[in-house]
Amino acid sequence: MTRRLLPVVLALAALAALGLAGPAGASSAPAVSTAQSALNGATNDSCFSCHGVRGKTPSITVGSQQKSTYVDRARYERSRHGKLACNSCHLGFKPGIHDAGQTAGWLMTAKLTACGDCHADQFAMYRGSFHGNLVFGHSNGKAPVCADCHTPHNILTPGTVAFRQSERVLCARCHAQAEKTYLNSYHGKAFYLGRLNAAVCPDCHGGHKILPPSNPASTVSYQNIVGTCSKCHPGANRNFAGFLVHVDPSSPKSSVWVWSFNLLYLILITVVFTFGFAHSGLYIYRGFKDGLYSRRHTG
């Protein structure tokens, strides 16, 4: 009896195994496909057949400016995102002429919302930052979004020399006065002269979660400034962290004390040099008058 039932039992076990393998295999296939869909695939060839040829790509109107849709493929593929498919950021786009349904809202999708699909933690920090509050709150369109700082199609790896060198320039697009005062500081002069480990903007103000100094959570608030300075200056105390960085000595609105001392310094320098020139001029005049510089002068 046992021998007669053995083939039946084996057959049922085989069917059960196939049944279990079927759903598992079916569920694993889309996962592989999804993982690979974001990678640079055949669709990129179609995209670059138009957008990678100079003179063939049309210009588009962004705001009030005309911009080219040309993308340097070699430069893109050397960038941090070089292995991604174009439509992993340009969501909904397909090869060929793009209709209105594909292009609707494409700019903010590619520059902002699509970034959160892969960078959820950074996107959450940005959303709670000063910049993010402007963009998602009452922005006038000038507040920076992800792609304004991380240049599209040429995203640099954070922490590299190239990225650190670009940070000051990126911030200066909106904060020209802050760049001026930064370059007048020790940090700015050191970095400009080649000391690449000197502090640049995000080292003090943070990267994705930039907050105003009045916010206690800010890296440059009164509560946190000592800790921020201590990252590069071990042993920094409250007096050390109280050093004024973004100060314009020519403006009393920046700092009355610094402006006053700068004014006194200029007055002192003017008086000293004026007295020096006057004294030297009178001395030379007296010398000529007394024949001090003539050959007949006997001393």
Alpha-helical (H) ranges within 112-217 are: 120-127, 130-136, 146-149, 161-172, 176-183, 186-192, 201-205
Domain interval for residue 278: 252-299
Assigned domain for 184 exists: no
Tell the residue number behind the tokens 């440059």, with chain if given. 220
Is the model's pLDDT at 57 over the cut of 90? no
The domain tally of the chain equals 2
Which has the higher per-residue pLDDT, 267 or 140? Answer: 267
CA distance 216 to 79: 36
Q: Are 241 and 229 in contact (CB under 8 A)?
A: yes
Q: Six-digit token pair at 224?
A: 């946190």
Residues sharing a CB contact under 8 Å with residue 116, sequence separation 6 or more, in sequence order: 123
Assigned domain for 297 exists: yes
Assigned domain for 180 exists: no
Average of per-residue pLDDT across 136-154:
84
Assigned domain for 271 exists: yes
Assigned domain for 153 exists: no
pTM of the model: 0.70
CA distance 116 to 97: 27
pLDDT, one tens digit per residue, over 159-217 is 888 888 888 889 999 999 999 999 989 999 999 898 988 999 999 999 899 999 999 99
Assigned domain for 29 exists: yes
Pairing of strands 59-62, 65-68: antiparallel
Assigned domain for 269 exists: yes
Burial 115-142 (b: 16+ CB within 10 A, else e): beeeeeebbebbbebbbbebbeeeeeee
Assigned domain for 209 exists: no
